Amino acid sequence: MKQFIVNRVLSGIVVIFGISIFSFLLIHLIPGDPVKIMLGINASPEQVVKLTRHLGLDKPLLVQYGQYITNVIQGDFGTSLKTGRPVLVEILERFPETVKLAVFGLLISVVIGISLGILAARFKDSIIDKLCTAFATLGVSIPSFWLAILLVMIFSVQLSWFPIANGTGLRDLILPAITLGVVASTMIMRLTRNGMIEVLSNDYIRTARAKGLRNHLILFRHALRNVLIPVVTVIGLQLAGLLGGTVIIEQVFNWPGLGTLAVGAIFSRDFPLIQGTILFMGVVYITINILVDVLYSIIDPRVDMGTKGA
């Protein structure tokens, strides 16, 4: 187990290193002078020189990256050009709102996905199974922004049940969380359904039925417990994906999370903030993936921890 954890951490560090290189080079991949792009066409030569020195862009590329990664390791992600505040402070202020939205969306996806998956497996090949499968297909096919706009039009504009935007309370959270949850539930639903169908065909399930056990005991005590092992892995990966994939939903609902912060940084050409957001979310995503792999190995000892891929 220790060797497995060490291998996963080392592979994660390598990936984070690659993300740091990408985020660093972002400012150098822009066509033209990045400093003039940040300052605008009306910038004076003195302002261009000052910002160039401030960002260290007058130094060799390797020296710039060495300084950049040294500062990052020390927790210095730079200073926002728009607000003048440390980038890490800006990120940490918005990150809890993104976590809140992602966690609530994940809870909704787990409830919907597992419930429909069990229902579809229990009534395999019936109209219920077909409806659940159709829901999963529809959830994968519908763009999240379209579903978000549809929910706003129905429940906020027409019915006035929920506020349209500009809030962080529970009522403001429901519609964006449902949007994320419905889209994310499709994978959980299909995985649960397929796993339940496979488990329900095993001999020990037939033995349990022959003993006269009730269907709900067979489904939840015997079948679902064995299906949940791969589902837990998917749920962990879904959380990581939701944390990094709420940009569009945050924009539609004007939710003050990292997605809104990143889009605002792009429009204001605040490259230090863009770089910091990319690197921070990359670290979060890799960390969650490592924790999911370790958790999977703990709950399922059959996993070959020596050969599990990075």
What is the tens place of the pLDDT at every residue in 110-157? 999 989 988 888 888 899 989 988 988 888 888 888 888 888 888 888
Binned at pLDDT 50, 70 and 90, residue 12 comes out as confident
More reliable by pLDDT, 64 or 309: 64
Residue 91: what pLDDT?
A: 93
266 pLDDT more than 50: yes
Burial (Cβ within 10 Å: 0-12, 13-18, ≥19) of residue 29: exposed
Lowest mean pLDDT among 77-91, 239-253, 280-294, 296-310: 296-310
What mean pLDDT do residues 186-204 have? 84
**Residue-averaged pLDDT of the chain:** 82
Lowest mean pLDDT among 151-160, 232-241, 294-303: 294-303
What mean pLDDT do residues 193-205 have? 80
Contacts of 225 (CB under 8 A, 6+ apart): none
The pair of structure tokens assigned to 8 is 């996963």
Report domain 102-267's class.
mainly alpha
Lowest mean pLDDT among 12-21, 71-80, 224-233, 269-278: 224-233
What mean pLDDT do residues 222-243 have? 78
Residue 143: what pLDDT?
A: 83
Q: Which residues are paired to 86 by β-bridges? A: 79
**Boundaries of CATH 1.10.3720.10 in the chain?**
102-267
pLDDT digits (tens, 9 = 90+) for 158-184: 888 887 766 667 788 888 989 888 888
pLDDT digits (tens, 9 = 90+) for 211-220: 777 777 777 7
Q: Would you tell me how many other CB atoms lie within 10 Å of the CB of residue 301?
A: 8
Residue type, 125: D
102 pLDDT more than 70: yes
DSSP state of 152: I
pLDDT digits (tens, 9 = 90+) for 31-88: 666 777 777 777 778 887 887 887 777 788 888 888 889 989 888 888 888 888 899 9
Residue 242: what pLDDT?
A: 82
Residue 310: what pLDDT?
A: 39
306 pLDDT more than 60: no
Residue 263: what pLDDT?
A: 86
194 pLDDT more than 60: yes
- The residue written with tokens 């879904």 in the block is 238
221 pLDDT more than 50: yes
More reliable by pLDDT, 26 or 174: 174
More reliable by pLDDT, 231 or 103: 103
Q: In the chain, what are the helix, strand and coil shares in percent, each to the nearest 5?
A: 75, 0, 25
Q: Per-residue b/e over 266-293, b at no fewer than 16 CB within 10 Å? A: eeebbbbbbbbbbbbbbbbbbebbbebb
Residue 308: what pLDDT?
A: 44
307 pLDDT more than 50: no
Among 42, 36, 96, 8, residue whose Cα is nearest residue 290: 8
